[in-house]
Chains A and B, each alone.
Chain A
Amino acid sequence: MESQPRIGVYVCHCGTNIAAMVDVEQVAEFAATLPHVVVARDYLYMCSDPGQTLIKQDIQEQQLTRVVVAACSPSMHEPTFRGATREGGINPYFMQMINIREQCSWVHTDREKATQKAKALVASAVAKAALLEPLEDREVGVTPGAVVIGGGVAGMIAALDVADAGFPVYLVEKSDHLGGHVADLNRVFPTLESAKELIEPLIKRVQTHPHVTVLLNSQVTGLEGYVGNFELQVTNSKSEGPNPKLSVGSIIIATGYDIFDPRRKPELGYGQYPNVITSLEMEHRLATGDLTVDGRSPQNVAFIQCVGSRDAQVGNLYCSRVCCMYTAKQSRLVRELLPQARVTVFFIDVRVFGKGGEEFYDETRAKRVRYRRGSVSEIYQRDGRVVLVGEDTLLSRPIEFEADLVVLAVGMEPRADTATLSTLFKLPRSADGFFMESHPKLRPVDTVVDGVFLAGCCQGPKDIPDTVAQAKAAASSALIPLILGTVPVESATAVVDADLCAGCGMCVDVCPFGAPALDPLWGVSRVNAVLCKGCGACAAACPSKAIQMQRFTPEQIMAQVDALME
């Protein structure tokens, strides 16, 4: 039995993030008066090396048995301070974080009251820290191999990287061929090289790679397991036989995008007038070299950008990021094929940000493609030609523009089945409908589901270089558990006291991860600790607290509440 706990409290300024709204010195002074607290300090950045050193030294010199860090969200720096606590020489789970940034300084405007609140929060953390139990880090073995969903550029690149590292890869493709949308393109910007020459060697490598199994006409229809040990049910639309189950350690989603259907903007006349085509149809025409409309070579060609992008009316507020560049490419190729034709691009803004993009755009304009800042609100037919009506937004003048051929630069949209996959994988989507990454800056290929990664346009519109970069990033992230051979699992899991459990099964029903199950023999709940993410939904639902969350026991929570009421 340990003697009285010895607690150290560390209050972080977070630069001015906390210190500007909370009197951190005062909070530290207050913390020093709390029961069992032997040292309390404030520091500019507690997460910095010197900050962590403070904690480590105090553990050793002051024989601390518990550490309280008042700083940012634990989702940010709990691992950091657990590490410092471990290095100080005590169990890392003897560290309790309390959030005085997101839940205090950032959301208040009255410094005095915010300081009061920070003190109360620190008191609650100290009360809980005294009751903390040690836990052990846990890990499980990994099934070597990965599933990549989607056989476009993103999926193929990711599959090849994982396979080249020596792990088996299952590439699951919904259609009957590999290549995705790139297989439908003519030439790619800004190099103008043939898309065919780009994609075909890639397809060939995938098909002949000894570690890659390509499953065409296939879709993932079931998912069980967790990072390191997933089991996926795959359904083949063409075969009657039993559907394979794939056991792998990680999953890369590279399902790509759908192309905006311009029929949703009927005012542009697509589907009504043969003179109005989409940019993808233009790719085919450029590939064949036939640009005629009704047997006549067009004299006046117009491109309209941002069709289905940056458009609140159709619900797509985002920029599709590729249309400016492919429009520059297509308009330039039209100029080369039809030197006599007038080529005009109607744009909102020109965004040509990629490597070589600006230069390519300059060259396009030098080839006398006219760029006109304006929005086209309607297209109608007159004497076999079409008339574009809109506004020149530089001159604030109405536009009426006759053309023989109009190309709609259609944007990208989330795949129609994104919602289905989102439900299956429990993956959140961002407001634009694409899959959401874990963090927009720091975790761009990760998802909230450990072991599931995103590559390519399923996460948001991007061009081929960005897609390839993300695919390679996803592959390297997916390789981490495969190479390590083990994955850490949550240490603070739910535990069941079988003597208290009445077997009502509420915990089973509320768990989003399928961790608890009723033991058929004893009629009580048992938790599969590997599946448990420590969310605590079960503990909240259990009326007798027969199932409890480690680190969130009723005693600890009551102690926290009581300290907050002080």
Chain B
Amino acid sequence: MKTVIPVENGDTLVAVRGFLKRLLEAGVVDAVLVPMETPAGAVTPALVSDSRLLDAANPLAPVMGLNAARVVGPVSIREPRGKIAAVLRPCELRALVELVKLKQASLDDMVTIGVDCLGTYDVPVYEVMRADDGVDVAAYLASAQSGELAPQDGYAFRDACQMCEKPHVSALSSGERLGGVEAVVTLELFGADLSAGIPVTLPDELAEKLGLTDPSPGPSPARRREIIEKVIAARTQVRDARFAEMDRRLEQEGIEGVFAACVRCHNCMTVCPICYCKTCLFKSPTFDHEPLQYMNWAHRKGAYRLPADTMLFHLTRLNHIVLSCVGCGMCTSACPAELPVGRVFRTIGQQVQAVFDYVPGGNVEEPLPLITFREDEWMEVGEE
């Protein structure tokens, strides 16, 4: 059912909090996984069971310090657990779809609440913004209606957000996919006047339990489509320019050149929502070399770059996750050397995903290419 969550006094956030509280109060779920604001203003996800504490929930805060799919996995993977609602951005929902395929998360008894994303800031940027100028939430939310998504003056959205061409959600129960990632409940920000109401699509049964029984058309689907297409067009332009630029760099410097300053901190692996190994092979004794071994390498090559095995680490991670990479860009955000990790993965991922005709995060029913055997695949390999 399509309806609108009413907004009073222009306070969109309060309306969203009210909606989440009703989920708990109506007994629809046992807990809500949602970004919460600490008293000091930092934003971090929490699993909330007490509806009163949802006064601190802020899923509209334009900051992303973590792809929340990473925390949905551990809280959802095994029975017994209660019923959970998880409020997620499109890139988090897509990562969650991949984790479900990798058996690292479960959608059973899970109400996914997808929210259109207007772009996010890195944590340090958000902190400076809060301290210096304050965050203009009203202007940020107003951008949803026009589709003119722009960061606050003097700041920049996260690198991945600037080139994100999948910022929207699509309701499971709705026919209008628009290529967006699916969720059980969708908060459809694009094209809407959020100071008046928040368009939402949700299953009829759920709507009834929440007392949202008045179907309301909200903004026209055509209007929403128009705004989404506008956003996608602008983002795609940025994306393609960056792909081209990265292709050039990879061509000229090689991937070893692009990653030359890597300090092998493994941050990119730690924050990656897809990297699901319990212990990364690169943290295992396989890569503890004897001092003599380093000396042998130094002799063999004349000079041996340190720390060792950085290229092998990136190539292995690329090999392991690039087909499932949803482009959330947390790797870039987490890199202390400010290397364009996410751009490399997206540029290469785009090409590899096309080879296998695979869309990561698209649909839990679509099998991973690694486990799909096709007899007639890649017949041209080895041919002239």
> Is B371 a contact partner of A510 (Cβ separation < 8 A)?
yes
Residues of B within 8 A of A (CB): 77-78, 102-104, 276-281, 284, 286, 300, 320, 368, 370-371
Most buried by A among B78, B102, B277: B277
Report if A504-B102 is in contact (Cβ < 8 Å); known contacts: A499-B278, A510-B371, A566-B300.
yes
> Is A545 a contact partner of B286 (Cβ separation < 8 A)?
yes
Q: Which residues of B contact A500 (CB under 8 A)?
A: 277-279
Q: Which residues of B contact A499 (CB under 8 A)?
A: 278-279
> Is A503 a contact partner of B103 (Cβ separation < 8 A)?
yes
A198 within 8 A of B: no
Q: Which residues of A contact B284 (CB under 8 A)?
A: 545
Give B287 Cβ to nearest chain A Cβ, in Å: 9
A430 within 8 A of B: no
* Complex Cα–Cα for A544 and B320 (A): 10
Q: Select from chain B the residue with minimum beta-carbon distance to A501.
A: B278
A543 within 8 A of B: yes
> Is B281 a contact partner of A502 (Cβ separation < 8 A)?
no
> Is B370 a contact partner of A502 (Cβ separation < 8 A)?
no
Q: Select from chain A the residue with minimum beta-carbon distance to B316.
A: A543
> Is A502 a contact partner of B278 (Cβ separation < 8 A)?
yes
15 contacts between A and B (CB under 8 A): A500-B278, A500-B279, A502-B104, A502-B277, A502-B278, A504-B276, A509-B370, A523-B78, A541-B370, A543-B277, A544-B278, A545-B281, A545-B284, A546-B278, A558-B286
Q: Which residues of B contact A544 (CB under 8 A)?
A: 277-281
Q: Select from chain B the residue with minimum beta-carbon distance to A512.
A: B373
Give B101 Cβ to nearest chain A Cβ, in Å: 9
Most buried by B among A509, A510, A518, A541: A509
A184 within 8 A of B: no
Q: Select from chain B the residue with minimum beta-carbon distance to A523.
A: B78
Out of B78, B286, B320, which one reaches A543, CB within 8 Å? B320
A139 within 8 A of B: no
Interface residues of A in 408-435 (CB under 8 A from B): none
Give A530 Cβ to nearest chain B Cβ, in Å: 23
A32 within 8 A of B: no
A505 within 8 A of B: yes
Report if A555-B300 is in contact (Cβ < 8 Å); known contacts: A543-B277, A544-B277.
no
A244 within 8 A of B: no
Most buried by B among A501, A503, A518, A566: A503
Out of A502, A506, A523, A554, which one reaches B286, CB within 8 Å? A554
**A514-528 contact mask (Cβ, 8 Å, vs B): 1 or 0:** 000010000100000
Give A219 Cβ to nearest chain B Cβ, in Å: 24
The 4 closest A-B pairs by CB, nearest first: A544-B277, A509-B371, A543-B320, A504-B102
> Is A510 a contact partner of B281 (Cβ separation < 8 A)?
no
Q: Which residues of A contact B78 (CB under 8 A)?
A: 523
* Complex Cα–Cα for A504 and B286 (A): 22
Report if A504-B103 is in contact (Cβ < 8 Å); known contacts: A499-B278, A555-B286, A566-B300.
yes
Out of A506, A518, A554, A558, which one reaches B371, CB within 8 Å? A506
Q: Which residues of A contact B300 (CB under 8 A)?
A: 565-566
- Not counting A500-B278, A518-B103, A555-B286, a sample of 15 additional A-B residue pairs whose C-beta atoms are within 8 angstroms of each other reads A502-B277, A502-B278, A506-B371, A509-B371, A510-B370, A523-B103, A541-B370, A541-B371, A544-B278, A544-B280, A545-B286, A546-B277, A546-B278, A554-B281, A566-B300
> Is A506 a contact partner of B370 (Cβ separation < 8 A)?
yes
* Complex Cα–Cα for A544 and B277 (A): 6
* Complex Cα–Cα for A45 and B116 (A): 72
Q: Select from chain B the residue with minimum beta-carbon distance to A507.
A: B371
* Complex Cα–Cα for A80 and B259 (A): 48
Most buried by B among A501, A504, A518, A566: A504
Q: Which residues of A contact B103 (CB under 8 A)?
A: 503-505, 518, 523
Give B229 Cβ to nearest chain A Cβ, in Å: 36
* Complex Cα–Cα for A425 and B57 (A): 58
Give B68 Cβ to nearest chain A Cβ, in Å: 19
Q: Which residues of B contact A545 (CB under 8 A)?
A: 281, 284, 286
Give A283 Cβ to nearest chain B Cβ, in Å: 39
Q: Which residues of A contact B277 (CB under 8 A)?
A: 500, 502, 543-544, 546
Q: Select from chain B the residue with minimum beta-carbon distance to A554.
A: B286
Q: Which residues of B contact A505 (CB under 8 A)?
A: 103
Q: Which residues of A contact B280 (CB under 8 A)?
A: 544
Q: Which residues of B contact A541 (CB under 8 A)?
A: 370-371
* Complex Cα–Cα for A112 and B277 (A): 45
* Complex Cα–Cα for A523 and B77 (A): 10
* Complex Cα–Cα for A543 and B104 (A): 14
> Is A502 a contact partner of B371 (Cβ separation < 8 A)?
no
Give A506 Cβ to nearest chain B Cβ, in Å: 6
Give B232 Cβ to nearest chain A Cβ, in Å: 32
* Complex Cα–Cα for A510 and B78 (A): 24
Q: Which residues of B contact A558 (CB under 8 A)?
A: 286
**A541-555 contact mask (Cβ, 8 Å, vs B): 1 or 0:** 101111000000011
Give A504 Cβ to nearest chain B Cβ, in Å: 5
Q: Select from chain B the residue with minimum beta-carbon distance to A541.
A: B370
Q: Which residues of B contact A566 (CB under 8 A)?
A: 300
Q: Which residues of A contact B281 (CB under 8 A)?
A: 543-545, 554
Q: Which residues of B contact A565 (CB under 8 A)?
A: 300
Q: Select from chain A the residue with minimum beta-carbon distance to B300.
A: A566
* Complex Cα–Cα for A518 and B370 (A): 18
Give B375 Cβ to nearest chain A Cβ, in Å: 10
Give B15 Cβ to nearest chain A Cβ, in Å: 39
Q: Select from chain B the residue with minimum beta-carbon distance to A558.
A: B286
Q: Which residues of B contact A518 (CB under 8 A)?
A: 103
* Complex Cα–Cα for A555 and B300 (A): 20
Q: Select from chain A the residue with minimum beta-carbon distance to B320.
A: A543
Give A407 Cβ to nearest chain B Cβ, in Å: 40
Give B184 Cβ to nearest chain A Cβ, in Å: 24
Give A500 Cβ to nearest chain B Cβ, in Å: 6
Give B350 Cβ to nearest chain A Cβ, in Å: 21
Give B29 Cβ to nearest chain A Cβ, in Å: 24
* Complex Cα–Cα for A555 and B286 (A): 6
* Complex Cα–Cα for A134 and B371 (A): 32
* Complex Cα–Cα for A509 and B281 (A): 21
Q: Which residues of B contact A504 (CB under 8 A)?
A: 102-104, 276
Give B49 Cβ to nearest chain A Cβ, in Å: 25
Q: Which residues of B contact A555 (CB under 8 A)?
A: 286
Q: Which residues of B contact A546 (CB under 8 A)?
A: 277-278
Q: Which residues of A contact B276 (CB under 8 A)?
A: 502, 504, 543
* Complex Cα–Cα for A501 and B370 (A): 18
* Complex Cα–Cα for A500 and B281 (A): 9
* Complex Cα–Cα for A510 and B367 (A): 12
* Complex Cα–Cα for A558 and B293 (A): 12
Q: Which residues of B contact A523 (CB under 8 A)?
A: 77-78, 103
* Complex Cα–Cα for A98 and B286 (A): 23
Q: Select from chain B the residue with minimum beta-carbon distance to A544.
A: B277
Q: Which residues of A contact B104 (CB under 8 A)?
A: 502-504
Q: Select from chain A the residue with minimum beta-carbon distance to B275.
A: A543
Most buried by A among B103, B276, B300: B103
Interface residues of A in 219-242 (CB under 8 A from B): none
Q: Which residues of A contact B371 (CB under 8 A)?
A: 506, 509-510, 541
* Complex Cα–Cα for A511 and B77 (A): 24
* Complex Cα–Cα for A35 and B237 (A): 57
Q: Which residues of B contact A502 (CB under 8 A)?
A: 104, 276-278
Q: Select from chain B the residue with minimum beta-carbon distance to A499.
A: B278
* Complex Cα–Cα for A67 and B117 (A): 62
* Complex Cα–Cα for A546 and B281 (A): 9
Give A84 Cβ to nearest chain B Cβ, in Å: 32
* Complex Cα–Cα for A504 and B370 (A): 12
* Complex Cα–Cα for A343 and B102 (A): 72
* Complex Cα–Cα for A510 and B320 (A): 15
Q: Which residues of B contact A503 (CB under 8 A)?
A: 103-104
* Complex Cα–Cα for A123 and B85 (A): 58
Q: Which residues of B contact A543 (CB under 8 A)?
A: 276-277, 281, 320
Give B368 Cβ to nearest chain A Cβ, in Å: 8
Give B342 Cβ to nearest chain A Cβ, in Å: 19
Give B285 Cβ to nearest chain A Cβ, in Å: 8
